[in-house]
Chains A and B, each alone.
Chain A
């Protein structure tokens, strides 16, 4: 043992081990540091602008005070519509992958394509919807924005639905089949029910993902200075307003941008934490 301590080879190995451990710790602190920094600045800048008028007044013209009411309302409408369009399609496609075509050729292609869509650049989705909706219709619209976001919702829901349905034990399906339940009923009554928490998690994650999306809305829903719930007209949304206001030279606008940024981040982080705790509660027992 005494020899081991003096051996230069051993001490060199010990030293590189210690250095590596130190670097790993430093890297982790570096990552956490960014999170703290970003959240701290966001809370500081955002909270200083929070007041009731943010929720009761529309976006102001340059140089005067106002709120974000129209942007918040627009974001809510577009997001709800996107989820309403995207979720059923996503759940059905995920069901096909997990229940009907688990090993079929079609499924493996769909799975691959879905994974690509899941991480495809969202601005390309915006271009796609511009080409198929905005250009033919001749004007920007809330509908186009909602469909663009739905295209982003679909792959998220497909993925989680498939994963969660695959976790449902096959014995449950066999038991249902053995008492003569047709397959569709088995899926709706048994499999969906067993996987419900997971599927809801997927939907929440999808909502979290789209509520911060800006790029696909820039040239689909565009923006609107005024309060508007007309889906056939350009519609304001929180992320696009933040984009426009942050890059403006007006101090009031920049302040509102920070407040909007805080609202979005709080929403998104809350949604993803709720989603996480839903699945965690299911996994632990």
Chain B
């Protein structure tokens, strides 16, 4: 029986079987081509979605801020008044606060970050490089709300008690500086916010600088050592000039973070819509104003003014981050 069946098949249809195989293979191939195409479209769609996200952010912010921009026009940017009762809003104080706090942060984080990177790449014993590098990067991993609560309960009281009175006394008779360090020591204020921001952006500056320093060709350094340069001179005159573009890119990335940082600043800035010359005075930043007031904002104009602040913040950070990316791309191309 069995034998018969086998022979029957072979007899009946070498051709038939081949045809069946061919059609089934074509079917499989077609199916594969479809899944291939579906998968490709899905990945492409997801990539395009990323683009749509950013345009969505921009469009929704513009849409949301239209009422405020209609009502106040360009004077929104230069008005200090922020009065929910009379519905008069101006962005000057938050913009000023954002710029001042970020400036303080960069003033401290840039030299410190560079020196840490110098230490990690040139001075630190090999076995300690990774642990110290990771520890510094953990600073970036701590959520910003932790910096906020720490700043409010630990750092601000400390500054109020020990640092700010000293600053006020020390510069009381120095012109210009006495305006900068004037007024009662509140503890919270723009200086406190700037200092906390400095700690927060420090790891970004350090890790990018370290990465670009590491990419400097060893031959260059050895040549400099060979003509008798000290470690510092090699760093200052060979490594830094060689990596300038990348280092500045790292600064810009850190600046982008500092400008947009919300929670840590909200805790310690004091939320006062005022432009004061003293950095010890409470102020506000764009992000802190939004975080503090958005859920309590009544009326379309109030909400819209806060969204307009968000738009301004987004435009500023977009420009800063775009410059950062452009510079980092340039150094990548040169190294790679």
Contacts and interface: CB of A to CB of B under 8 A. Distances in A.
Interface of A: 13-14, 16-17, 20-21, 23-28, 30-32, 34-35, 37-38, 41-42, 45, 88-90, 92-93, 95-97, 99-101, 106-107, 109-110, 112-117, 119-125, 127-128, 130-132, 151, 154-155, 158, 182-185, 187-188, 208, 211-215, 218-219, 222, 239, 242-243, 246-247, 254, 257-258, 261, 264-265, 268-269, 272, 276
B100 interface: no
Nearest 7 A-B pairs (CB), nearest first?
Answer: A212-B143, A121-B260, A92-B46, A27-B115, A184-B39, A96-B43, A20-B232
B317 A132 contact: no
A185 B31 CA distance: 12
Contacts of B267: 246-247
A93 B199 CA distance: 33
B233 A13 contact: yes
Given A93-B50, A183-B40, A213-B143, A28 B119 contact: yes
B80 interface: no
B59 to A, nearest CB: 9
Q: Which of B40, B42, B146, B206 has the most CB of A within 10 A?
A: B146
A109 B322 CA distance: 12
B321 A182 contact: no
B230 A17 contact: yes
Given A13-B230, A119-B257, A93 B46 contact: yes
Nearest to A216: B262
B17 to A, nearest CB: 22
A204 to B, nearest CB: 12
B43 A121 contact: no
B150 interface: yes
A261 B47 contact: no
B127 to A, nearest CB: 15
Nearest to B61: A127
B20 interface: no
Nearest to B254: A119
Given A116-B325, A218-B291, A261-B145, A31 B310 contact: no
A37 B139 CA distance: 11
Contact of A28 (B44, B132, B142, B262): B132
Given A41-B150, A107-B47, A184 B36 contact: yes
14 contacts: A28-B124, A28-B132, A34-B139, A38-B150, A96-B43, A106-B44, A109-B51, A112-B322, A119-B257, A121-B287, A127-B294, A132-B60, A258-B153, A265-B146
B40 A214 contact: no
Interface in B301-318: 306-307, 310, 313-314, 317-318
B132 A32 contact: yes
A96 B49 CA distance: 12
A16 B60 CA distance: 54
Q: Which of A92, A97, A122, A188 has the most CB of B within 10 A?
A: A92
Interface in B253-289: 253, 256-257, 259-263, 266-267, 287
Contacts of A154: 50, 53
A184 B41 CA distance: 11
Contacts of B47: 92-93, 96-97, 101, 106-107, 110
B239 interface: no
Given A28-B136, A112-B325, A187-B39, 5 more contacts: A92-B45, A96-B47, A116-B321, A128-B60, A208-B141
